[in-house]
Amino acid sequence: MSNLSLSQFLQQQSGNLTPELSQVIETIADTCKTIDQALQKGALAGVLGSAEHENVQGETQKKLDVISNDYLIDALKVHPHVGGLASEELDDFTPAQENGQYLVLFDPLDGSSNIDINMCVGTIFSVLPAKNAVTQADDFMQAGTQQVAAGYVLYGPSTMMALTVGAGTVFFTFDPETQQFLLTTENIQVAADTKEYAINASNARHWEAPVKRYIDELEAGKTGPREKDFNMRWVACMVGDIHRILCRSGIFMYPYDTKDPQKAGRLRLMYEANPMSMLMEQAGGSSTTGRVRIMDIQPSELHQRVPVVIGSKNEVELVTSYHH
């Protein structure tokens, strides 16, 4: 059986998927190939290290953050079907074409602290329907349930794309010989139970009581109330951690903590939490803030942050029940 290319796969889809949306997804995929080439060259291309300034989040940007962001902005703002775009790296949205049918939001390079040590990084994207002929800032304020497509590209030992257009989650693998993303896994299903969890344990002293209780129970293993041993995995790149869960189940948590009370969570609702939640729910998993379903949240600002508890359904539901 020959592997379908991304464009062949998109031609076979129905539902949310219009020819115009297919073209937007293909443009994102093509741009990620360019980002992949820059990453492959690494130090040889002079793209490693800090860009010597901060992004809108107050985080020091890496050169490749800036390069990846520029590639995506340049490709999408001239796309005939894109009305506007928003990046985690920029204060404001970028207007694109009048009467463009879609809005694209993205984290151009997730896990960029991994770049300089040659570990996995990724690009996350979310596509929403446009609201007006000329895009306004308010047009982006749509709940995650309104997404018509979401996905990520993982730049790892092999470059892979996870994609959903609302009819399940699938994986493509980039073939360097043909320069195409080829379908390699259909109908991904995340098991409801798991023995793996991912959390940044260095923040333990800042966690709320329900999260402390949950992690204490996992660490107690067979001798504790869960009566089984758990393994902890932490990639420091959301794309890497979510990819592992889509491959073999698990739970990923970046919960609310008191470290910085101004930030309700660390991860961005529009660029990270919503697209990953759509991928996870389409694969049979679950995604909440610990209190409410992430995709039901009505955004109030472009760079809104939320706590994230995502992955195997039974574990996510347990953590959420502890908060209630």
112 known member of a binding site? yes
Residues in CB range of 86: below 8 A, 6 or more apart = 93, 94, 103, 104, 105, 106, 140, 270, 271, 302
88 known member of a binding site? yes
200 known member of a binding site? yes
58 known member of a binding site? no
22 known member of a binding site? no
26 known member of a binding site? no
69 known member of a binding site? no
111 known member of a binding site? yes
44 known member of a binding site? no
Question: What whole-number distance in Å separates Cα of residue 5 and Cα of residue 233?
Answer: 32
Q: Which residues are annotated as a binding site?
A: 88, 107, 109-113, 200, 272
Q: Which residues are annotated as a binding site for substrate?
A: 110-113, 200
Q: Which residues are annotated as a binding site for Mg(2+)?
A: 88, 107, 109-110, 272
